[in-house]
Amino acid sequence: MNSEARKAKLNELKANKNNIAMTGIPLRYRSSTLFVDVYKIPLEFLIYNKYNGRIGSEVKSFEKQYYELNPEIKEDRRKIEGFLFDSKRERNKTTLDSLRIKTQQRYGIVTADGVIIDGNRRAMLLNKLFHERDDLGYAFSEVEHCQYFLAIILPEDASKKDIHQLETTYQMGEDDKLDYDAIEKYLKCKELYEYFETDAIAGFMGENEGQIMKWLSILSLMEDYLDEYGYTGIYTRLEKTEGPFVDLNSYLESYDKRGRNTSEVEWEYSDLDITELKLICFDYIRARYEGKEFRDIAKTGKGGSIFFHKDLWDEFLREHKERVPPDEETVEELRGKYPNEDLSKLLKRRDEEWKTKAKGQLEGNLRRYTSKLEDKRVADKPSELIEKALSALRAVDYQQSSFLTDPHIKEMVKDINSIVWDMKKLLDRK
């Protein structure tokens, strides 16, 4: 059923007072409050909003990799339903029982031509209960009510801007925030930013304006990351990365502004240096690196980070470039090599293969320079450094043959002896 056919059906339905389920429902619309009816609508008159806030990243990633989904087509509708069900599998299983036993408790919102603006998940579950009743083991009488959806029908003059505002207000109010995956709120901000100022977006989403601006900045950084590895628009590759991006965005903004948190940086870094820092951190994010050591690469404020010290940073950057391997194949090469394989799985496998090769180098390099950073942090506490050095020397197994045959060890021992001799002379003169 196309848009015009759905609109005609909904107009017929509105003309019949027997289809009214509730009256006098307040709806905030274009800065005023309307009191509207809720209708009992056959689900066959409706289609899903494919960019629903809970599945936006999944749908946009799918469309970037394959083709544009059309919710009017049965196969594409099934794909959208799969995204909706998988987004909250356990909760959806619980809601299925509630809809079957208690019926629909919360009305939705649909456009004049039957696009579901609020209530996609509930509509999907009602469709599942009614059309898959035999597989689920329910009699027709148990799920007869599930072929209808209770919803407000918007005026025909509702614009895309009106629809975005309503969708956000109803879906991302205080009660529903926990329903959203981490990436979805960033995408919703970007979508709204095409139509509204940040202060208006903040009102719709129940946030302050500063938070909205921060989310837009973080998404921009996430998209830089996707571009770097050839994953432009494939937002599903951002799974489980929100925390590091939030931290990194804060660090990069501080360095860019040369603010108070960077006052202890020991060198005059350039914008190019900040870019190098960002790209190195991207590699650690890609490897799903966890641990406080990640913050030691770029953190600002008290104690600083490796980037604060030019000597540490230059060595750390050089070793990173020398040791961390590149991808063996580009995304385009993978597409050509495996044309019939699911691209999402190919990209995940590509990341895993790179991570397997790079993780040891990433960990080792960061561990070495985190240790050197710690030495700088306690440089004004000689007792702690000497105790640390003494502990390390006591751990050396000098009975091994390599101790006697490695010429580098002999040179280092000479250096240690020279330093200790200078310390001893200074102490003897005291």
pLDDT at position 60 is 92
CB 54 within 8 A of CB 84: yes
Average pLDDT over residues 263-279: 95
pTM of the model: 0.78
Task: Give the number of other Cβ atoms within 10 Å of residue 280's Cβ.
Answer: 23
Looking at residue 175, what is its pLDDT? 44
pLDDT band with cut points at 50, 70 and 90 for residue 176: low
pLDDT of residue 63: 92
Please tell me the predicted confidence (pLDDT) of residue 178.
Answer: 45
Question: Does 174 score more than 60 pLDDT?
Answer: no
Q: Is the Cβ–Cβ distance between 149 and 41 less than 8 Å? A: yes
Half-sphere exposure at residue 217, Cβ-oriented, CA atoms within 13 angstroms: 15
Lowest mean pLDDT among 22-26, 55-59, 118-122, 381-385: 381-385
* 47 — pLDDT class (breaks 50, 70, 90): very high
Q: Which of 151-165, 264-278, 388-402 shows the lowest mean pLDDT across its residues?
A: 388-402
- For the stretch 184-199, pLDDT in tens is 889 989 999 999 999 9
Indicate whether 177 pLDDT > 70: no
Confidence of residue 41 (pLDDT cuts 50, 70, 90): very high
Residue 300 has pLDDT above 80, yes or no: yes
Share of the chain above pLDDT 70, in %: 95
Domain-wise residue ranges, the chain:
3-171, 180-228, 240-379, 396-429
**Confidence at residue 380, expressed as pLDDT on a 0 to 100 scale:** 57
Residue 305 has pLDDT above 90, yes or no: yes
Look at residue 384 and tell me whether its pLDDT is greater than 70: no
Tokens at 309, concatenated: 């010290």
* pLDDT per residue as tens digits for the range 306-340: 999 999 999 999 999 999 999 988 888 988 999 88
Q: List pLDDT tens digits, range 96-126.
A: 999 999 999 899 999 999 999 999 999 999 9
